Amino acid sequence: MSSSAGPSSSLTRPSVPRPTLERGQNLTNTVVKDAFGSEDWLERTGNWAKKLTIDNTMRLIQKICDEVYNQHEGQMSPSFTFQKQNTDIKDAMYNKFLFLLQTYEMEEDYRSLILDMLDATDPNEEGFRGPRWLFEVCMRRTWDNRSSRAKGKDPKAKKRTRGSAHFQPER
């Protein structure tokens, strides 16, 4: 792949602040795609969207987050969500993510793109909204997936149903 078609680390990266969400809206791949879909971002990164899709990129990030979770599972407090974890453990997880990113088997263009995306979501700008938001969103998604799977296996876990009412017929 030519250097003009993929991400290029020689260009200055714009920062990408955490998207503002409507009440009840989750940070989905579509919202992430929109955040990284600005013309300024695409122009400065060599318009990577023509060759590399955000869906594949997010899938790779999620796989690495799964591995980070596996390696740090015993160090995290199970009574807290990812957001409420100790800053030290979150920093250690971020550093482990960066290490695994360098060793994970993937195309170099994806590796460069992920690093650029992480840099753009954690700039050294004062007043920047949501530092490390891309990493935190992906780790939170991993955390939520794991905790919901664990609850599904626990017979004592409270089952929740939404939007359905069951009435007993009168006798």
Distance of CA 62 to the CA centre of its chain: 7
pLDDT of residue 151: 61
pLDDT digits (tens, 9 = 90+) for 38-57: 777 777 777 665 667 778 88
Distance of CA 97 to the CA centre of its chain: 11
Would you say 7 and 45 are in contact if contact means Cβ atoms under 8 Å apart? yes
pLDDT digits (tens, 9 = 90+) for 88-111: 888 899 999 999 999 999 988 889
Q: Cα(115)–Cα(106) distance, rounded to whole angstroms?
A: 13
Q: Which residue has the higher pLDDT, 41 or 116?
A: 116
Would you say 72 and 88 are in contact if contact means Cβ atoms under 8 Å apart? no
User: How does residue 9 score in pLDDT terms, banded at 50, 70 and 90?
Assistant: very low
Judge whether residue 12 has pLDDT over 70: no
pLDDT of residue 3: 42
Question: What does the mean pLDDT of the chain come to?
Answer: 75
pLDDT digits (tens, 9 = 90+) for 136-164: 888 888 888 777 666 666 555 555 544 44
Judge whether residue 62 has pLDDT over 80: yes
Residue type, 127: G
Q: Which of 15-19, 58-62, 110-114 has the lowest mean pLDDT?
A: 15-19
